[in-house]
Structure 1
Amino acid sequence: MASQIHFLDIKGKSLLSRDYKGDIPSGTIDKFPLLLLENEDNDEANYKPFIYSQGINYIYIAHNNLYLCALTRKNENVMAIIIFLSKLIEVLTQYFKSLEEESIRDNFVIIYELLDEMMDYGCPQTTDTKILKQYITQDYYKLIRSSSSRQIQPPNAVTNAVSWRNDGITYKKNEAFLDVIESINMLINANGQVLNSEILGAIKIKSHLSGMPDLRLGLNDKNIFNINSNSDVDAAPANSKGIEMEDIKFHQCVRLSKFENERIITFIPPDGEFTLMSYRLSSTQFLVKPLILVNCKTKIHKHSRIEILCSVKAQIKKKSTANNVEVVIPIPEDADTPKFTPEYGTVKWYPERSEVVWKLKTFPGGKQFHMKAELGLPAVNDPEELLSKKPIKVNFNIPYFTTSGIQVRYLRINEPKLQYQSYPWVRYITQSGEDYTVRTK
């Protein structure tokens, strides 16, 4: 794996380094900025996360004006190193809230400790933040209060086969909460037609279970998965029935061999909250219809006043309800003196963002509401320029509903030693993604 790990600023200057093998000269990283510049100039269309030069592989990722770069001499698995660097960013972000140049300079001691625990002689080891925080802590005063004979020892999970969970966890009430959360991104034109859409889904679990429980999760359709000859998760064949998922990712606790052979998800969960599985569905896999449909028309009266007529309709089943619906409408930067007449909900003007936000706390399925807004225009501007603003953004969440139709058939919990009674809970949420937008023209 990696021989060296380097943290560099945006100019390529080294901030912190760790040499694991000693087989690469320490000054080799100084060539990285020039190599990066040459790589960008020569191949702008095809981005590659590695550079090969004079027998050295430079494998890197960018984050918050930083570069994390791994050096190796051998022909290593590039994606394995990329995944480790990504996990390293995740761990450091959970320790320091934000990974940037300043946090690296302020916490270089603990970063060195983490680098030594997360990688041994260039090979990844413990990468679970919850386990690392048990013996690598930022509260150093606790060590001073300890007696000199006592030393903090790494938890047994570090050397166990199950490295993401400790032994001896106990709860008075054993419960597991499972959430199926689907975020839908959609681009809708002014006529209400969907131009592009996708679903980003995740199955999240909060585990409050004692001992070493073994869980088995059953979904409503086995055909949602297809396993190819290389044991990778891929979309199901076009002629198969059911949901066809793409870009499926599992938590490390999932037994992949069991899943590959029987398409059953079995695992020993980490304690607390974690994402068991994530997936993506393209627009061809589900009914393409806006869940929240917005129709907005703008009129400009003699360059002195702008009038916005907006209607919003919940195109979901009558028994369903959308919560915390927000329709974010862009307006001219110089608009002032707003007057709002909503049929339902509240409307607020945000002049610093040049937006009007219409909020509907609860929105029953099948209902439609209207809103009228009037704003003054002190400056004389081109009407076409005023109307060619950024699209309307819509935010919402719908409980007890999934767009894809995925359902949990069962969540079985078995602890062979303790044999306790457990309570699994399942809920479904569909929410707007970061890019649920409606064009106004």
Structure 2
Amino acid sequence: LSAQVLICRNYMGNMDMNEIDHFMPILMKREEDAEMTPVVSHGSAHFMWIKHSNLYCIHLTNSAHSTVYHKVCFLQVFKEYFKELEEESIRDNFVTVYELMDEVMDFGFPQTTDSKILQEYITQQGHKLEVGAPRPPATVTNAVSWRSEGIKYRKNEVFMDVIESVNLLVSASGSVLRSEIVGSIKLKVVLSGMPELRLGLNDKVLFEITGREKSKTVELEDVKFHQCVRLSRFENDRTISFIPPDGESELMSYRLNTTVKPLIWIESVIEKFSHSRVEIKVKARSQFKSRSTANNVSILVPVPSDADSPKFKTSTGSAKWMPEKNVVQWNIKSFPGGKEYIMRAHFGLPSVESDELEAKRPITVNFEIPYFTVSGIQVRYLKIIEKSGYQALPWVRYITQSGGENRHMEIDPYTNRPSQTHTINGRLFLNTRS
């Protein structure tokens, strides 16, 4: 394995750039010894690296205490500029890449990393020199650096997505052992001028301050805001006031310790027969009210890799074998609340007594439930104030989806022991107009 330096910049002038020749041999040796780490060293030179596609982004430093932030900055900016970050896009945009490297970093330290600001004066057609002294764009020096002056739209709108990821840990008996909701509020702003927005949530602390009814509130924890939010005002009276960036951005993130029950409960058992045959029985039960319906439900049931001769029987929907993934996929287009369905899958299994039968791969459930929320968070109002007094439409959408660790314990389908986990991946949509 060989590597060629595509592009580089020595910011501080204190490193021998020939040190890069030692990187690939060291990395190959680490890979052979199964000792891969994000930092490798050669003498006093330290290589902090990230691999993206067929590219290595390497930060060469003589300090072992540097951070990976430098590489992450560049990768994110390059991806937003070139869409597909690969060798060809780097070669086709050498001039732009060097300009970005000079603007993003100042003497080796991150400076301007917002691609919206960078695109104001670095284009993919190259930087155009102007007569006279160079002048940075207003967004670099302005107090509202995340938004440009003079933005105009014919139709003014704000689209707000309240997105929540639900993490569940449930015992085999059905009791919730751990429940957590990690949320974020994302904006798509199509507004003229320099508007001020004020967002009101059913925040428990706010309701306690104002002495309002507390029954329908949520307790936000670990709240993090975009730099546009006036933190002092939020700390004083919990008002979320801000001048938003143009286009798409994440306004805030938060966490809720709210107990959530599994919306679709799965039970699964396996029965062994003579002549190397098995039957997998999966029962799915919706645990939400009958007025709601889960759409596009997909239940993925793992089977051993040597299974063959599949036969299926379902009380609703259809099942198919996906041998490339070693799973049975049970699809249910519409799953009303309070219903229960069953799927049976028969397989030939030459090595029925093999260890693979004890596999610990999870059963996965994907679904969408329209007009349904889990946590109870609500956008009470979204006010738009702009000096010209134009009318603007705010739109709010609630989305609940699975978290990375969204799983609960269930009966192991291969051993009938309560040690198998399965994952619930849900997407729930609610569209409202404020």
When normalised by structure 2's length, the TM-score is: 0.75
Q: Which residue of 2 aligns with 1:314?
A: 286
Q: How far is the alpha carbon of 1:291 from its aligned partner?
A: 1.9
Q: Return 5+ residue gaps in structure 2 as ranges.
A: 31-36, 208-216, 413-434
- Judged with a 3 Å threshold, the aligned counterparts in structure 2 of structure 1 residues 428 and 153 are, in CA distance, closer, same or farther, namely same
- Judged with a 3 Å threshold, the aligned counterparts in structure 2 of structure 1 residues 358 and 257 are, in CA distance, closer, same or farther, namely same
Q: 1:27 & 1:131 partners in 2: Cα distance? A: 31
Q: 1:112 & 1:202 partners in 2: Cα distance? A: 34
Is 2:187 the counterpart of 1:184?
no
When normalised by structure 1's length, the TM-score is: 0.74
Q: 2:292 & 2:91 partners in 1: Cα distance? A: 51
Q: How far is the alpha carbon of 1:308 from its aligned partner?
A: 1.9
Matches within 5 A, 1:280-291: 280-281=255-256, 285-291=257-263
Q: How far is the alpha carbon of 1:334 from its aligned partner?
A: 2.2
Is 2:416 the counterpart of 1:433?
no
Q: How far is the alpha carbon of 1:157 from its aligned partner?
A: 2.8
Matches within 5 A, 1:316-395: 316-377=288-349, 379-382=350-353, 385-395=356-366
Structure 1 residues 158-167 or 347-356, which shifts more?
A: 158-167
Q: 1:314 & 1:61 partners in 2: Cα distance? A: 46
- Judged with a 3 Å threshold, the aligned counterparts in structure 2 of structure 1 residues 393 and 193 are, in CA distance, closer, same or farther, namely farther
Is 2:225 the counterpart of 1:254?
no
Contact 2:203 2:220 in 1 (8 A): no
Q: 2:392 aligns with which of 413, 418, 422?
A: 422
- 3-state SS of 1:18 partner: coil
Q: 2:252 aligns with which of 241, 258, 277?
A: 277
Is 2:78 the counterpart of 1:96?
no
Q: Which residue of 2 aligns with 1:44?
A: none
Contact 1:12 1:67 in 2 (8 A): no
Matches within 5 A, 1:133-212: 133-139=119-125, 155-188=137-170, 190-194=172-176, 196-212=178-194
- Judged with a 3 Å threshold, the aligned counterparts in structure 2 of structure 1 residues 296 and 402 are, in CA distance, closer, same or farther, namely same
Q: How far is the alpha carbon of 1:299 from its aligned partner?
A: 1.7
Tell me the amino acid that sits aligned with residue 413 of structure 1: I
- 3-state SS of 1:317 partner: coil
Contact 1:286 1:403 in 2 (8 A): no
Q: Which residue of 2 aligns with 1:125?
A: 111
Q: 2:355 & 2:174 partners in 1: Cα distance? A: 21
Q: How far is the alpha carbon of 1:353 from its aligned partner?
A: 0.6
Matches within 5 A, 1:203-242: 203-223=185-205, 242=218
Q: How far is the alpha carbon of 1:131 from its aligned partner?
A: 3.2
Q: Which residue of 1 aligns with 2:266?
A: 294
Q: 1:87 & 1:30 partners in 2: Cα distance? A: 20
1:60-90 C-alpha deviation (Å, 9 max, x unpaired): 46343735426487x99x6xx6545433322
Contact 2:293 2:334 in 1 (8 A): yes
Q: How far is the alpha carbon of 1:407 from its aligned partner?
A: 1.8
Q: How far is the alpha carbon of 1:166 from its aligned partner?
A: 2.3
Q: How far is the alpha carbon of 1:177 from its aligned partner?
A: 1.2
Contact 2:226 2:250 in 1 (8 A): yes
Q: 2:60 & 2:287 partners in 1: Cα distance? A: 50
Q: Which residue of 1 aligns with 2:50?
A: 62
Q: Return 5+ residue gaps in structure 1 as ranges.
A: 1-9, 41-46, 226-240
Is 2:374 the counterpart of 1:403?
yes
Tell me the amino acid that sits aligned with residue 398 of structure 1: I
Structure 1 residues 302-311 or 153-162, which shifts more?
A: 153-162
Q: How far is the alpha carbon of 1:415 from its aligned partner?
A: 1.0
Q: Which residue of 2 aligns with 1:245?
A: 221
Q: How far is the alpha carbon of 1:108 from its aligned partner?
A: 4.1
Q: How far is the alpha carbon of 1:330 from its aligned partner?
A: 0.5
Q: How far is the alpha carbon of 1:279 from its aligned partner?
A: 2.7
1:146-205 C-alpha deviation (Å, 9 max, x unpaired): 99989x997543343322222222222211111111122334455445455432211111
- Judged with a 3 Å threshold, the aligned counterparts in structure 2 of structure 1 residues 277 and 13 are, in CA distance, closer, same or farther, namely farther
Q: 2:206 & 2:279 partners in 1: Cα distance? A: 48
- 3-state SS of 2:192 partner: coil
Q: 1:350 & 1:69 partners in 2: Cα distance? A: 42
- Judged with a 3 Å threshold, the aligned counterparts in structure 2 of structure 1 residues 257 and 28 are, in CA distance, closer, same or farther, namely farther
What is the CA RMSD across the aligned residues, in angstroms? Answer: 4.0
Contact 2:229 2:242 in 1 (8 A): yes
Structure 1 residues 209-218 or 362-371, which shifts more?
A: 362-371
- 3-state SS of 2:124 partner: coil
Is 2:81 the counterpart of 1:109?
no
